[in-house]
Amino acid sequence: MAANKEIEEGIGFSPKFDAHGLITAIAQDAETGQILMVAYMNAKALDLTIKTGNAVYFSRSRQKLWKKGEESGHVQKVEQILVDCDQDCLVLKVSVDQGQCHVGYQSCFYRAVKHEKGVELEFIAEKVYDPNEAYKKK
Amino acid sequence: MAANKEIEEGIGFSPKFDAHGLITAIAQDAETGQILMVAYMNAKALDLTIKTGNAVYFSRSRQKLWKKGEESGHVQKVEQILVDCDQDCLVLKVSVDQGQCHVGYQSCFYRAVKHEKGVELEFIAEKVYDPNEAYKKK
């Protein structure tokens, strides 16, 4: 198969990392289908995720591996990893407990754009935990 | 509110475009919750999406605005736009007909990583249309 066709139609897993060595990973609740968060993985994070069965990301702000839940306790058990046609994006189907967003919501996507002017947001969810409790200063 | 807090807890829509002027946009089937594709928007694409109610992206490969469905006919009617905590990622809840992926599948995520070795994929979907028909040479 030609290279492109192989990537799109083949069974070889060839994740395409960007110039920073990262690939986008979307965590989706395996049960409800809710999109919980979007993060990034380097090759090491992806490898650890596959091997341990728990989501490991690469934190761009802290520039280090980030075992999801290492501070908050809100880990993600990975049920399935999907890859898209050009293999530059992953979907992780995850089992989770309450509260995947550091702001206190179940999902990072707790606001929607209001109306067609597109300047204001409305909240579409309630907080499910108190982040001040979960991220206690050590 | 402090800038960060305003972005995370406020009602002002301040989409954060990256160094290339783009923001990640995930199209999710509003009815089934299936993640259909991941693409990118520049400010103009986002503006057109909000104003027209149909998804418009920015094609990185072609470096131009891409009205989803302009060639294939498989448009995305946008029901709702969600934004995440730090406002650098969007979820578009969309109504669609059959076949959102250019390879012929309903979703771009038609393969899953097999087993814990992570080197091989398995197909988890069937094609729903023939891309050779949809993208006829003009």
Question: Residue B90's pLDDT is what?
Answer: 98
Structure tokens given for B83 = 């934004």
- pLDDT, tens digit, for every residue of B79-138? 999 999 999 999 999 999 888 899 999 999 999 999 878 899 999 999 999 888 876 654
**pLDDT value at position A138?**
44
pLDDT tens per residue across span B20-42? 999 999 999 999 999 999 999 99
Residue A5 near chain B (CB below 8 Å)? no
Q: How confident is the model over A27-83, as pLDDT tens digits?
A: 999 999 999 999 999 999 999 999 999 999 999 999 999 999 988 788 999 999 999
pLDDT at B1 over 70: no
Interface test with A, best of B115, B121, B126 (most A CBs within 10 A): B121
> Encoding tokens for residue B21?
């002027």
Does B83 contact A121 at a Cβ distance shorter than 8 Å? yes
Give me B63's structure tokens.
Answer: 């470096």
Q: Note the pLDDT of residue A133.
A: 80
Pairwise CB contact (< 8 Å): B33 & A37: no
Structure tokens at B3: 């800038």
CA angle A46, A51, A57 (to 5 degrees): 30
Determine the pLDDT at residue B71. Answer: 83
Find residues 57-76 of chain B whose CB sits inside 8 Å of chain A.
none
Task: Evaluate if pTM is beyond 0.80.
Answer: yes
Q: Do A12 and B113 touch (CB under 8 A)?
A: no
Contact across the interface for A50 and B118, Cβ inside 8 Å: yes
- Chain B: nearest CA to A86, how far in angstroms? 9
CA-to-CA distance for B102 and B54, rounded, in angstroms?
18
pLDDT tens digits, one per residue of B40-70? 999 999 999 999 999 999 999 999 999 999 8
Closest C-alpha among A95, A82, A91 to residue A25: A91
Which of B50, B108, B120 is the closest to A84 by Cβ?
B108
Could you give the ipTM of this predicted complex?
0.93
With CB atoms and an 8 Å threshold, state whether A85 touches B108.
yes
Total residue length of chain B:
138
Residue B53: how many other CB atoms lie within 10 Å = 12
Burial class (CB in 10 A: 0-12, 13-18, 19+), B125: middle
